Amino acid sequence: MQVAATAETTRCIKSAVDILTRGIDRAGGPVNLACSFSLEDTVIIDLAQSHGLPVGIFAIDTGRLPEETYQMAELVRERYGVEIDWYFPQATAVQRLERENGLFSFRNNLESRKQCCAIRKVEPLQRALRGLAGWVTGMRREQSVTRSELVSIEPDREHPGLLKIHPLYGWSEEELWAYANEFRIPVHPLHRKNYPSIGCAPCTRAVEPGEDIRAGRWWWENSEHKECGLHRS
């Protein structure tokens, strides 16, 4: 059962629901959330469910996700009674990558890391987006320099004809946690261990006090490179 929200959280909710509603209307067809089971994604699922918005859910299993992410996926599925469409990388491409380049080639250089992301994330995304009119992300301006100019709704330049919807684009970290605490939604276990951004296990670490929100993602790279290819800067 939903609880009463503070005035600030109510303002954030109104903004996000308005963006979702306008985005769904503009898309004019099926709209799904690309879910990694982060706090942002769970907030969006909770908002969509509580406001009766038709947003489906898909997730990409790269084969190297933390165990806690699978646990979180089950919590979300059971809590909201939703179906999650899972997509996986092509087995032959993963086998070729690991056979030829080893298990940790993504740490060699930026090109190798992007090659791994392309196989494990980007290609499955192409399949996940087929038949959709738009997709929803949990991206926020505050997260990194690559997202500082994010807008709420935009044409997907990488996938012409699709709309990208970012209902939390203007939310702060504090506003996310306020919503999570007020509505008692499920929270990824690693978030409480100083992992504000969570991806594949070998590419994610906890952040230190004062570090950037995405400092724990591909921490060996420069901040302006920290996108996997799902979202272009």
Q: Cβ-count burial of 57 within 10 angstroms (0-12 exposed, 13-18 middle, 19+ buried)?
A: buried
The residue segments making up the domain with residue 76 are: 7-225
190-202 average pLDDT score: 94
Task: Encode pLDDT of 149-185 as tens digits.
Answer: 899 999 999 999 999 999 999 999 999 999 999 999 9
| Residue 204: DSSP 8-state | B
In the numeric block, which tokens belong to residue 168? Answer: 């939390």
Domain-located, residue 180 = yes
What tokens does 90 get? Answer: 């092509």
Number of domains in the chain: 1
1 in a structural domain? no
pLDDT of 34 higher than 80: yes
Note the pLDDT tens digit of each residue in 66-116.
999 999 999 999 999 999 999 999 999 999 999 999 999 999 999 999 999
CA neighbor of 120 nearest in space, from 97, 104, 102, 137: 97
Q: Flag whether 104 is in a domain.
A: yes
**Residues annotated as part of the active site:** 228
Domain-located, residue 179: yes
Residue 148 forms beta bridges with which residues? none
**Mean pLDDT, residues 22-51:** 98
d(CA 54, CA 39): 20
Using DSSP, state whether 134 is helix, strand or coil.
strand
Does residue 137 sit within a domain?
yes
pLDDT band at 210 (very low <50, low <70, confident <90, very high): confident
| Residue 201 located in a structural domain | yes
**DSSP labels for 103-146?**
TTGGGT-HHHHHHHHIIIIIHHHHHHHTT-SEEE----GGG-GG
Residue 87 CA: distances (Å) to CA of 37, 60, 63, 64: 14, 5, 10, 13
Supply the pTM of this predicted model. Answer: 0.90
CATH number, position 102: 3.40.50.620
CB 167 within 8 A of CB 24: no
Q: SS3 for 116? A: helix
Q: Can you tell me the mean pLDDT for 1-20?
A: 84
Spatial CA neighbour of 148 closest among 139, 136, 159, 158 = 139
Q: Which two tokens stand for residue 221?
A: 């790279």
